[in-house]
């Protein structure tokens, strides 16, 4: 017992005459249709996002992402690193060059 899909495709193939121009025209038409649909989708999505809308479901309430104490701790780390960098730049640390 043959698969109905392959039987249908075999019947359609046997009824049609090979025509490369028609086949290429169908292929190019389908490709252009796919390209146009992708461009329309991307323009629609860009327009929605550019206007501040949300694609998909939007969150009703958003909790704060960072705590102020965490931000202060990160700021302190960067301040300490900047102070160390200034010590290197201004010659606070003295090194003996072993190659000399």
Quote helix, strand, coil % in the chain, to nearest 5.
65, 0, 35
Per domain, the residue ranges of the chain are: 7-53+67-89
- Per-residue pLDDT, averaged over 36-49, amounts to 96
Q: Is 90 exceeded by the pLDDT of residue 41? A: yes
DSSP string covering 29-97, please? Answer: HHHHHHHHHHHHHHHHHHHHHHTT--SSPPPS----SS-HHHHHHHHHHHHHHHHHHHHHHTT-S----
| Confidence at residue 16, expressed as pLDDT on a 0 to 100 scale | 65
| In the predicted structure, residue 12 carries a pLDDT above the cut 70 | no
pLDDT 10s digits, 59-99: 777 676 777 888 899 999 999 999 999 988 888 887 777 88
**Averaged confidence pLDDT in the chain:** 84
pLDDT of residue 9: 73
């Amino acid at each position: 017992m043959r698969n109905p899909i392959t039987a249908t495709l075999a019947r359609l193939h046997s009824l049609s005459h090979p025509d490369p121009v028609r086949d290429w025209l169908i292929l190019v038409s389908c490709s252009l249709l796919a390209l146009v649909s992708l461009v329309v989708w991307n323009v629609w999505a860009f327009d929605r996002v550019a206007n501040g809308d949300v694609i998909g479901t939007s969150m009703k309430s958003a909790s704060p992402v960072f705590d102020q104490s965490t931000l202060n701790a990160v700021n302190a780390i960067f301040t300490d690193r900047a102070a160390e960098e200034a010590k290197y730049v201004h010659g606070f640390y003295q090194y003996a060059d072993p190659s000399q």
